Amino acid sequence: MAIETFTSTVLSKKNLTEDTILLSLDAPDTFTFNAGQFVTFTIVKDGESKSRAYSILNSPVQKNKLEFVIKLIDGGFASETFRTTKEKDTFELKGPFGHLLLDESSSNHWLIGCGCGIAPLHSIVVTHLSQYPNSQFTLIISVKTQKDLLLHDLFLKIEQDNPHFTYIPTLTREEWTGKTGRVQTHLPDDVKNKTFYICGLNSLVEDVKELLLQKGVDQKNIKFERYN
């Protein structure tokens, strides 16, 4: 897929949680990507310019639109810009990049992430679920507390409508009626004929990868994207 650089305008910005926003921008007709990929934003502030990567949340089926879930980190160069970003602001974007793509030869996909790592996994689910009705998709996502859950109602609805999709949200710092503990706790015992996709902070990616290898998963069946 050709890498493009283009100017993109903010269409909307919405607060998803206390520290996470959903940012929608437009995209030119020429821009195409695969579910699971990311773009870089050029952030210009105080005469300084830095590049930051963000995974695309929506499906490539949706044309001329790019959505992102972005965690606002106190004092972060890009985060502080996004905190004040408003409709009609523009950014220079470049992409698509990344190899966290669906393995179309597999029929059992385990998507594992933390926090904003949900973005590319969401894109993969909403893009491929209807395309592969005979494949099983399982999403395990960890956040600290219930109020940190991202797109929770949406995933519950997708699960209700699609018997071949299982949604496993797990909380690491709060008890609730659902699952608790790290994502590792909820990995399958039988890892045969499954493909794993891991996305989020480096420590999570490394820990899950390590555990999957110990369980006997072949390296080629583990795909990942590190956020730091």
Ligand X SMILES: Cc1cc2nc3c(=O)[nH]c(=O)nc-3n(C[C@H](O)[C@H](O)[C@H](O)COP(=O)(O)OP(=O)(O)OC[C@H]3O[C@@H](n4cnc5c(N)ncnc54)[C@H](O)[C@@H]3O)c2cc1C
Binding site for ligand X (CB under 6 A): 38, 52-55, 68-71, 73, 75-79, 116, 119, 201, 225, 227-228
Least Å distance, CB 134 to ligand X, is 30
The token duo for 222 is 């583990």
**Structure-token pair, residue 67:** 């959505």
**CA angle in degrees (0–180, nearest 5) for 218-222-226:** 145
Strand partners, 199: 113, 225
Q: At closest approach, how far in Å is the CB of 103 from ligand X? A: 19
By beta-carbon proximity to ligand X, the closer residue of 124 and 191 is 124
Residue 121 or 158 having the CB closest to ligand X: 121
Taking the complex as a whole, the smallest distance from the CB of residue 85 to ligand X amounts, in Å, to: 12
Which C-beta is closer to ligand X: that of 38 or that of 165?
A: 38
| Closer residue to ligand X in complex, CB, 122/186 | 122
User: Are 227 and 202 contacting, i.e. CB atoms less than 8 angstroms apart?
Assistant: yes
Nearer to ligand X, 73 or 213 (CB): 73
Residue 214: CB minimum distance to ligand X, A:
25
Position of minimal CB gap to ligand X:
76
Long-range pairs of 177-184 with CB within 8 A, sequence gap ≥ 24: 182/142, 182/207, 183/112, 183/113, 183/114, 183/140, 183/141, 183/142, 183/208, 184/208, 184/211
Q: Which residues have a Cβ under 8 Å from the Cβ of 167 and sit 6 or more positions away?
A: 139, 155, 156, 158, 159
CB atoms within 10 A of CB 67: 20
Give the shortest CB-161-to-ligand X separation in angstroms: 25
Residue where the block lists tokens 């933390």 = 114
Quote the least distance from Cβ 69 to ligand X, whole Å: 6
Task: Say how far apart CA 30 and CA 100 lie, in whole Å.
Answer: 22
Beta carbon nearer to ligand X, 79 or 106: 79
